[in-house]
Homo-oligomer: A and B are copies of this chain.
Amino acid sequence: MSLITTRSRYGLRLLIELADRAGSAPIDLGSVARNQDIPELYLSKLAATLKAAGVLRSERGAKGGYRLARRPEDISILSVVEALEGRSSLLECTDDPAICARSGECRTLPVWSGLDKAINDYLRGVSLADAAVAVIDYSI
């Protein structure tokens, strides 16, 4: 398995660091890759994907880099995961009925659709701002 692969995990770490270091200048991926111990060439592909999804903006050339396209409160983790994992839902047949050609009435579909909804509801409800909170106090 994984619903959440290194793509989402690395991607979220990138976004949190961009949120932390947000300012007037864009942030180059090389520094993020070093700080986060993520292969830079791999990270650059993830950043390009997030840019295509409208989550990041970039500036090329010397002193260039990436910055968040929106405020952290306005970036849902769902949009990040969907962009990086490249799929709209848990099961293909949830979207595309043609895949489950055989049985007209699929009795397992409601279970998986419900799971899909539970996952999406959770991820939609968490923003980058929530994730980027410096310290989470578990003792409360």
The chain A residues found within 8 Å of chain B, CB to CB, are 1-5, 9, 12-13, 16, 37, 77, 85, 87, 90-91, 102, 105, 107-108, 110-112, 114-115, 118-119, 121-123, 126, 130-136
Which of B105, B108, B132 contacts A9, CB < 8 Å? B108
A135-B90 in contact (CB<8A): no
Can you list 23 A-B contacts with CB-CB less than 8 angstroms, sorted by A residue number? A1-B1, A1-B2, A1-B5, A1-B87, A2-B3, A2-B90, A2-B91, A3-B115, A4-B91, A4-B112, A4-B115, A9-B112, A12-B111, A13-B107, A107-B131, A107-B132, A107-B133, A107-B136, A111-B131, A114-B126, A115-B119, A115-B123, A118-B121
**Copies of this chain present:** 2
Which of B77, B108, B123, B130 contacts A16, CB < 8 Å? B108
